[in-house]
Amino acid sequence: MAQQAYMTETADGGSGPERPGSRLRRLAHRLFTGWRGDPRIWRRGAVLTALALLLALVMLVHAHIPNAVGNLGSLTETFLPWLGLAIPVLLVLGVVRKSAIALIAVLLPAIVWLNLFGGLLTDKAGSGGDLMVATHNVNADNPDPAATATGVAASGADVLALEELPASAVPVYEKALAPAYKHHAVVGTVGLWSRYPMTDVRAVDIKLGWKRAMRATLATPEGPVAVYVAHLPSVRVKIEAGFTARQRDKSADALGEAIADEPLRRVVLLGDLNGTMNDRSLNAVTSQLRSTQGAAGSGFGFSWPASFPMARIDQIMVRGAEPESSWTLPRTNSDHLPVAARVKLDTGS
């Protein structure tokens, strides 16, 4: 049986196949039929209106949501951008419900979300930069370390930080990265590879009892730069305990203290911080350094999980440098995406 075509009247009084635009107009006409002259449009949708106002309130006062119970504040801030997905849902429900007050109320969370994250939607990347840096949590259970190393080295980064390095795989990474980088150092489970000479390499105590952070001075053509590599403890979301991040928060404070004591003016921090720039618990670090993604990226730059990135927990941050561009690199065998940035080093005194 032939499929029946939708027909619409043509200008000469005949008929022809209905165009997609006509179908949309017909649907819109059905949705809004009965709105005009119906006083109930201002009385319907009380629940939708309340939900829209609550959504706006959560985004407005997220910094004041307490962490006392399950670190609820940090959990909210970690996934704060995703609250925006509720806005189109509320909008559609408001149309279906034929509620004018609900549609007006939806404008409030939309404005708040755009104020918080609208700047990330534009492409702020430039084409300059003195130094290209990259960082990657390679995953301790990576089935092919050599391929992962080769993949990130292909980015052309001048400086590369790797986190979650198992001792057994370090020789594999060293061999794979040797052609691209003359200088490298591994401290505990983090490592730094560089085209420029390194001095003053040492572990940074982040209060864990084992080494997951390091610092080195790089002799770049523009002068010395202090580079920190850090892998802060993981966080977990548990029903009985909420967002468990106490050890991560303690380590972040220790890292912040180390950076505050850094004598060099130009600082680059590379690593897996297991937290986003919105998470107040990382303030000891984020208050001192500038995120390259926020300043010179395009989009949110989510880096984890690699299969469906939902949060930017792998960070490149700077002090005494101007971010020029920031982006994620192609996926490797890790559960994180590598991230990279180009920065212009400050030459002032």
Where are the chain's structural domains?
18-121, 131-345
Cα separation, 332 vs 89, whole angstroms: 34
332 sits in the region (left: phi over 0; alpha: psi -120 to 50; else beta) called beta
Angstrom distance (rounded) from CA 162 to CA 139: 9
Assign domain 131-345 to a CATH class: alpha beta
| The pLDDT of residue 47 | 96
Contacts of 122 (CB under 8 A, 6+ apart): 298
**pLDDT reported for residue 36:** 62
Contact assessment for residue 333 and residue 143, using Cβ atoms and an 8 Å cutoff: yes
pLDDT of residue 6: 45
Q: What is the pLDDT of residue 2?
A: 45
CA distance 145 to 165: 10
Length of the chain measured in residues = 349
Element (DSSP H or E) covering residue 308: none
Return the closest-CA partner of residue 176 out of 198, 201, 151: 151
Regions of the chain with pLDDT less than 50? 1-8, 10-12, 241
Instruction: Collapse the DSSP code of 118 into the 3-class scheme (helix H, G, I; strand E, B; otherwise coil) and give the result.
Output: helix
Please state, in angstroms and rounded to a whole number, the distance separating the CA atoms of residues 113 and 81: 8
The pLDDT of residue 183 is 98
Identify the CA nearest to 31 among candidates 91, 84, 87.
Answer: 91
pLDDT at 309: 97
The backbone region for 301, taken as left when phi is positive above 0, alpha when psi lies in -120 to 50, beta otherwise, is left
